[in-house]
Structures are given as C-alpha cells and as structure tokens.
Structure 1
Amino acid sequence: MAATNKEMSTEFQYFGDVWTFFKKYYHVRPDDDYWEAVVEESSAIVQKYNNLPLCKDLVLAVIGELERKEKAMRGQRT
C-alpha cells in the first residue's frame, strides 16, 4: 500500500522534530537538568504525534544514543 501525501507530510514533520531534538541535546551533559529536559521534550514530541510507532522509535533511538555518549564520556563501556 502506498503512503498518502498526508502520511508522508506527518512523517516529514516528526523526522524534522526528532532531528532538531537530537541537535539540541547532542552535546551531552551528565547532570539531572539536562536529562530532565531530554525526557520532557522527548515526551512532548511523541505526544504531539499521538504516539505514532515510528516517531516513538526514532525518539527512543536518539535517547539511546545520548545515553551511549554519556557512558563514553564517563569512560564506561556500552
């Protein structure tokens, strides 16, 4: 089944939002304020798109990468 223009438009929007989110938090800080902001903003993105599975998966992938970067900063293995 081919995607509709509306579906593609929505996907384009949340890919953009997730990319903007990733850029904003790219430079990881190992403090509670940073992680609280990550959780708050990631939840807002997922809610904005009504918990669409791909959007949620993209957000979770970004959070996983940020966690990996923090562990690397602290000298831990992933």
Structure 2
Amino acid sequence: MALTIDQKIAQKEAELARLRNKSRALENGQKIILGGMVLAEAKRNPKIRQWLVDTAKATVKRGVDLKRLAPLLDELAALGES
C-alpha cells in the first residue's frame, strides 16, 4: 500500500527530528570534551586560568548560570593565589 502525502510528510518530519536530536547530542558531547580540556589546562596554566575567570565574569549574565559557576570560579581564583 502506498503512503499518502501526509504520511510521507510525517515520516520526513520524524526523520528530521531524529537528525536534529543526533546533531544536538554530538554538539553537546563536543562542548563537554572541550570544556573539560579547558578546565584541566586552566588548573595548570595561570594565563589560561585568568582568561577563563575573566571571560566567565564578563560574559555569563544569567543569575542561575553565575550561581552554578561560582564554586568553580572561586576554586580557580584560589589556585591563582597560591
């Protein structure tokens, strides 16, 4: 039995949704890996640490994000003091 136009559209929309989810998952995985790399290097390298702290303070504006980052930024700032 041949599919109707509406059924074909629904199939393609479902396929598109799966591809979008796959793309988002790939992008999120890349962000996690790069974030981990940057954090590891920031803990070793004072220049990168200072850049990361300065950049986060200058660009992160949402209160919930600032609250989430505060312990990490405090930890990085303390590393710079030692």
What TM-score results when the alignment is normalised by the length of structure 2? Answer: 0.42
Which has the larger helix fraction? Answer: 2
Q: Which of 1 and 2 has higher RCO (CA within 8 Å, sep 6+)?
A: 1
TM-score of the two chains, using structure 1 as the length reference: 0.43
